Amino acid sequence: MSWNDVAGFNTATGLRLPTEAEWEYAYRAGTTTAFHDFAAGGSGGFNDDSRIGNIAWYAGNAGSTTHPVASLAPNGFGFYDMSGNVREWCNDWYSSTYYTFDPSTDPTGPSSGSLRVLRGGDWGGYSYYCRSSYRIDEYRRTPDYRDPHVGFRVARTPVVSETLWYTVLESSPSAIVVSNSTLREQIIASGFPWRVRDIATGIEMLLVPPGTFQMGCNRSNDSSGLCNGDESPRHQVTLTKAFYLGKTEVTQSQWQNKMGSNPSRFNNCASSSSSNS
């Protein structure tokens, strides 16, 4: 999927891409490490690349292909595959120096540019590509760039007075999924239901509450998993609005049901629940 392809899907559905700050905040789910946690009530994240196979399909375990979504462990908000499987488009324009001047509240990226941001590792990438803050080299591309390593997940900002666009699946967060009591309290305090299904697409979405986090560089224990210049300086960011984010990447079947075609390179392998790439 190119960024432009995704824009067409979102125009047709009323959904949107997450900002880069929203994406990293949702990935971290309260952690401050290179990788998010993978067990309810666990360690609060980790830096050890040898453990990445618990949460991510990458070059070390993917077998040179994408995999059905939600087949590895989720993070502390309940999101799957943010660490790997396919890289994910964000809405932002890319700038290598953006972190030196971005606003500390609700940053949306540079006002213009020639490249868009990609986040998260992929089925053919190294473990350290799966770091929470990784954003360099092939992780910035022109909006018309298409690649079998690339997909997306959708977001939406809820508004109290808007026409109901979702079906409620669970009003309050499950303690089994969101084991951190502080995160559960923040989700409930937002006043919106936690787990919903978008009526137009059938995509399941989870609510991410407003919050403050440290955005930017976290190195992993791999000798190559160093902080890159465009991940720095690490800085505090506050998101003032709750938003919904896809529980998984948009799948091939979800795309095809809305757009009428399946452009994926891997559309004859795994299942229709495979990530869209």
- Tell me the domain boundaries of the chain: 3-259
Beta-carbon contacts of 186 under 8 Å, excluding residues fewer than 6 positions away, are 209, 210, 211
Q: Does domain 3-259 have CATH number 3.30.420?
A: no
Question: Mean pLDDT throughout 137-148?
Answer: 82
Percentage of residues of the chain with pLDDT beyond 90: 82
pLDDT tens figures, 187-230: 999 999 999 999 999 999 999 999 999 999 999 999 999 999 99
- Name the average pLDDT for the chain: 91
pLDDT at 265: 61
